[in-house]
Amino acid sequence: MKYSLILLFVAFISNAQIKKENLNLMPWPQNITMQEGVFALTKNFKVNITGDPNSRIYVGTTNFLRRLDGRTGLFLTQGFVTQLNEFPEAELQINCSKKGKIDLYEDESYHLDIQPNKITINATSDIGALHALETLLQLLQNDSNSYFFPTTSITDLPRFTWRGLMIDVARHFQPVDVIKRNLDAMAAVKMNVFHWHLTDDQGWRIQIKKHPRLTALASDGSFYTQEEIKSIVKYADERGILVVPEIDVPGHASAILTAYPELGSKIIPLTNGNSEKNREAIALSTYGIERNAGIFNPTLDPTNPKTYQLLSEIFDEVCPLFPGAYFHIGGDENEGKDWDSNPRIQEFKKKNKLVTNHDLQTHFTMKLVPMLKKHGKQLMGWEEIMTKDMSKTAIIHSWKGPNEGVPVGQSVANAAKNGYKTVLSNGYYIDLMQSVNDHYLNDPIPKGSNLTADEKSRILGGEATMWTELVTPLTLDSRIWPRTAAIAERLWSNQEVVDLNSMHKRMKTVSFRLEELGITHIRNKHVILRNISNNQETRALEDFSNVCEPLKIYKRNAGGTEYQMYSPLTLFADACTADASDALDFDSAVNKYLENKNTENQKRVTDFFRKWIEMDTNLIALSANAPLVKPLLPLSKSLSDLSQQLLLVIEMKQVTNTTSIKDLLEKCNSKEHADVELAVYNSLKKLM
C-alpha cells in the first residue's frame, strides 16, 4: 500500500514536468539542460559540504536552509551548518576546491546538477557555490501538495566581473539593516560589488576617530561607526560581495568643509580691510550641511597642504576597514567656480603650469594615488578624473550620457580606448525612475563600437546607481528593486539574452521572492498608501498608484529646492514606482484590441475604463477625510473623464468631438500634479 502510494506520488509530480522557458531564473544561466523527472523535497533534506571552502559557505548554506524552510514550511531537520562533511549521505552535496577571495576576476563559476535522488554543486570556490544555492532556490517548484526541483543541469559563470550597486547614504542616511537587506538581495541576483557612497554635500557618514568633527558637525547624528562599517563589510563578504567605499573629493565638499572650513577654496572679499586681507579671507562661516539637491560650489583647496594631510589621515582610517583592493574618490561635478574666483589658486595654477581646472584636479587626484597605494588600494573615480595626465592604474567610472550631452556609450568607450579599466553606470541610474526596459537593453559594451578585444576586456562591467535625493529608508528598496535584478542579468548573462517579455515575466517572480530577504518594496508601498488614506480603505489609492509613475529624469524636485533633505517622502509619488503594473497590462490590452477588435479584446480595454471611473469616485470620497488625497484628484479626474468618453466611442460607437477628446488626452499627459505622471498616456494615445 505504502509503495503504491509512493509510485502514485512520483507519477503525479513527474507529470508536473516544467519547461525551460517556465523557469523564473534571473540572471539567466549560461547553460541549462533539463531532463524528465524531479527531485522531491522532504523535511529530511540535508546538505553536506566537502572540499576546502571559506567558512562563508556555512553561513550561506544555513541561510539557504532557512529560506527554503520559510518558503515551504517543511520543518527541515537540519539546523545550523558549521563544518565539513557533517552528513556524508546528504541529498545535496556541495564541493568547493578552494577558498574564494572577495576580489575582481575571481572564479565565480558553478555546476549544478539535479538528479531525482541527488543534487550536486561543484564550484571552484565557495563564491560559485553561493551562486549555485541562489539558482537552486529560484528553481523550486510546487504543485498543490509538495515542493520539488526539476532535474536540471546548469553550468554557469558571469559575463562581467563587476556587477555593482551603488547606494548613496549621504543625501539620505540609510541605516545598517537597510544596507544589509540590500546586500542579501544583491547576492540573490548574483551581484558582487557594493559601492558605498559615504560622503557628499549633504552629509559625512563615516566615523573618523582622529577627526570626530566630521561626524559631530556634518552628519546630523546619522553616520556609521567603524564597527558598523566592519559588520557590513563582513556581512557582504559572507555573501561574496566586495565593498568599495567612496569618499567624494574635491567637489561635493559642503559636509567636509562644514567641519574644516579652512580647507575650502572660497574667498569672500571683505568690504572693509586692505587688499592683502581680502585675498586671505577664507569664508569660514559660509559652509554648512547642504539641504538641497544639485551641484554646489564648496570644493577642497588643492593648493593647501593641510587638505592632503586631512585626506591622508582619513584614508589611513578608512582603507583598513575595507579589505578590497579598490577605493573610489569621487571626483565628479567639480565646476571649479571657487577655484576661479580665488586668486591664490589661480596663482598656483600658473606657477605649476596647470592650464585648466581639470589639470588642477588631476594634480589633486594624482596626490591621492600614493596615499591609497600605501594601503594596497587602486584609485577609482567618476569619469571626470580621466585627463591626459591621469595614472592608467585608475579605474574610470563612466556616468555621463545623453542627459549630459554625451552620446550613448561614448564615455565608457573612451575610457577603454584610453587604456583605463572602466565600469559603466550611464544607463543604470535607477534613481531616475525610468522603465526597466531602458536599463535592461543597455549593454556595457557599446553597440556598434569598434573596440578591440583588449579594449573590451577593460570594460569590467556595470553598476546601478541609487542616488538618494528623494529616497528614504522607507522607499529605498522600491527604487532599487526589482529593476536592479534585470541590470544584474545584463551583467551576468549572455549578451543575447534580451527578450523583454521573458525578462518581465521572470522579474515578477524575482520581485515577489525578494520579500523573503526582507526587501520592503511591496509592503512599504501599502504603508505609504495607508498613511495617505488616513486609515481608510486604500483600494482606490492602490488602483491609482498602479497607473501612475513618479516624474522621471530630474523632473521631480526640478531645481533641487522644492524638497529639502528633511522634507516628507511619504507622498503618493513615493508609493508609485517605475513600470506601473496596470499600465503594462493596459498597454498589452490596447495592443491586442488594435490587432483584433473582438468582444473579448474590447472588454479587456473597457474594463480598465470602468475601473478608473469608479476609482475616481472613490478617491473623491476618500479625500473628504484625507487631505493628502486632494492633490491626486485633478489627474484622476482627467483619466476618468477620458475613460468615459472612450467608453462612449468604443462601446456606443458614438462620434464625439475629436478636439475635446484630444484635450482630455493631453490633460492625461500633465506633469503638474502630485509629482507623478500617468503611465497609461501613451497607450491611451494609441486608441485615438
Active site residues: 333
| CA nearest neighbour of 210 among 304, 289, 323, 315 | 315
What's the CA gap between 633 and 284, in Å, rounded?
48
* Angle subtended at Cα 245 by Cα 240 and Cα 248, rounded to the nearest 5 degrees: 155
Q: C-alpha grid cell for residue 63?
A: 541561510
Nearer CB in complex with a second copy: 87/308: 87
What's the CA gap between 263 and 521, in Å, rounded?
41
Grid-cell match 551562486, residue found: 131
CB 324 within 8 A of CB 102: yes
Nearer CB in complex with a second copy: 594/624: 624
Nearer CB in complex with a second copy: 174/414: 174
Helix or strand or coil: residue 340?
helix
How far is C-alpha 605 from the chain's CA centre? 33
**What DSSP state is assigned to residue 172?**
S
CB 476 within 8 A of CB 521: no
CB 489 within 8 A of CB 27: yes
CB 400 within 8 A of CB 466: no
What's the CA gap between 181 and 134, in Å, rounded?
15
CB 328 within 8 A of CB 246: yes
Nearer CB in complex with a second copy: 624/688: 624
Per DSSP bridges, beta strands 110-115 and 31-40 are unpaired
Nearer CB in complex with a second copy: 281/620: 620
Where do the DSSP E strands lie in 41-117?
Answer: 47-51, 92-98, 110-115
Q: How far is the CB of 178 from a second copy (least distance, A)?
A: 8
Q: How far is the CB of 568 from a second copy (least distance, A)?
A: 5
Q: C-alpha grid cell for residue 221?
A: 547624528
What's the CA gap between 457 and 193, in Å, rounded?
18
Q: How far is the CB of 515 from a second copy (least distance, A)?
A: 5
Q: How far is the CB of 180 from a second copy (least distance, A)?
A: 9
Nearer CB in complex with a second copy: 541/668: 541
CB 18 within 8 A of CB 149: no
Nearer CB in complex with a second copy: 229/491: 229
Q: How far is the CB of 263 from a second copy (least distance, A)?
A: 23
φ/ψ (deg, to 5) at 664: -60, -45
- The residues that touch a second copy, with contacts defined as CB under 8 A, are 59, 66, 69-75, 79-80, 142-147, 175-177, 220-221, 225, 227, 231, 291, 508-509, 512, 515-516, 520, 522-524, 526-527, 530-531, 534-535, 563-564, 566-571, 623-628, 630
CB 272 within 8 A of CB 315: no
User: Is the previous residue joined to 305 through a cis bond, with omega within 30 degrees of 0?
Assistant: no
Q: How far is the CB of 637 from a second copy (least distance, A)?
A: 16
Q: How far is the CB of 40 from a second copy (least distance, A)?
A: 12
Nearer CB in complex with a second copy: 83/599: 83
Q: What is 571-621 written as a DSSP string? A: SHHHH--SS-HHHHHHHHHHHHHHH---HHHHHHHHHHHHHHHHHHHHHHH
Q: How far is the CB of 628 from a second copy (least distance, A)?
A: 5
What's the CA gap between 299 and 257, in Å, rounded?
8
Q: C-alpha grid cell for residue 384?
A: 571626470
Nearer CB in complex with a second copy: 294/407: 294
Residue 49 forms beta bridges with which residues? 94
Q: Rg of the Cα trace of the chain?
A: 28
Q: How far is the CB of 137 from a second copy (least distance, A)?
A: 13
Nearer CB in complex with a second copy: 212/402: 212
Nearer CB in complex with a second copy: 58/110: 58
CA-CA-CA-CA dihedral for 384, 388, 393, 398, to nearest 10: 30
What's the CA gap between 585 and 358, in Å, rounded?
49
H-helix segments, 624-677: 633-652, 658-667
**Coarse DSSP helix, strand, coil percentages of the chain, rounded to the nearest 5 percent:** 45, 15, 40
What's the CA gap between 187 and 247, in Å, rounded?
24
What's the CA gap between 485 and 82, in Å, rounded?
30
Q: Enumerate residues 6+ apart whose C-beta is below 8 A from 526.
A: 538, 542
Nearer CB in complex with a second copy: 15/275: 15
Nearer CB in complex with a second copy: 414/475: 475
Q: Give how far Cα 17 sits from Cα of 13, 37, 120, 137, 152, Å.
A: 7, 6, 20, 17, 11
Per DSSP bridges, beta strands 203-204 and 141-142 are unpaired
Per DSSP bridges, beta strands 147-156 and 378-382 are unpaired
